């Protein structure tokens, strides 16, 4: 026998409690912001080349990541993840957090969403620091959303653009 469900998200559940629990800014009552970046890819870019597209705060929640690109080579592929900023050492945090092995072989002139290629949709309410794992609290730092080339000699010259819609957790 099936049952009719009345299931609430965290934000609605908080709003329905008595006394009311106020929701954090990253879940409700905040504006979606957008960062967009375009890079020119060189045919000489080697594996592990990093393209930095957007600066995000550790408290931000990603709503969507989309990309469009020229045809960039016979086997061109990238990962999408987070790195520390150059001023903070530039080290990789999680190079495949959002996507891995994303093909850039055929041109894509239409924005294609890639947000949940590697993330389970259950994590849609999580802030960046919560997605990274291993952190007990927000480190209050900036990260760069980056594409990392996954194979040597696989890129051709062309344009790669990334759009990131996010909600500030501040």
Give percent above pLDDT 70 in the chain. Answer: 97
Residue 8 resides in a domain = no
Of 22-31, 49-58, 69-78, 88-97, the poorest mean pLDDT is in 22-31
Distance, CA of 137 to CA of 140 (rounded, Å): 9
Task: Indicate if the pLDDT at residue 154 is higher than 70.
Answer: no
The model carries a pTM of 0.85
Total structural domains within the chain: 1
| 19 lies in some domain | no
Q: Looking at the domain assignment, is residue 13 inside a domain?
A: no
Domain that holds residue 90: 32-167
What is the C-alpha to C-alpha distance for residues 78 and 81, in angstroms, rounded to an integer? 10
106-147 pLDDT, tens digit each:
888 888 888 888 988 889 899 999 999 889 999 999 999 999
Is residue 9 situated within a structural domain?
no
Is 44 among the domain residues?
Answer: yes
Is position 68 within any domain? yes
CATH number for the domain spanning 40: value is 2.60.120
In a domain, 81, yes or no: yes
Counting residues of the chain whose pLDDT is more than 90, the rounded percentage is 48
Length of the chain measured in residues = 170
């Amino acid at each position: 026998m099936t049952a009719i469900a009345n299931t609430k998200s965290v934000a609605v559940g908080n709003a329905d409690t008595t006394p009311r629990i106020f929701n954090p800014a990253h879940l409700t009552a905040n504006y979606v912001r957008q960062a967009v970046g375009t890079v020119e890819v060189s045919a000489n870019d080697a594996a592990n080349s990093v393209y930095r597209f957007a600066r995000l705060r550790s408290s931000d929640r990603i709503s969507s990541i989309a990309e469009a690109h020229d045809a960039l080579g016979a086997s061109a592929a990238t990962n999408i993840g987070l790195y520390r900023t150059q001023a903070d050492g530039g080290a990789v945090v999680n190079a495949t957090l959002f996507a891995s092995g994303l093909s850039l072989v055929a041109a894509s002139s239409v924005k294609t969403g890639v947000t949940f290629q590697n993330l389970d949709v259950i994590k849609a309410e999580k802030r960046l620091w919560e997605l990274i794992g291993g952190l007990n609290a927000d480190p209050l730092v900036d990260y760069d959303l980056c594409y990392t080339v996954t194979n040597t000699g696989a890129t051709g010259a062309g344009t790669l653009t990334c759009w990131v819609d996010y909600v500030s957790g501040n």
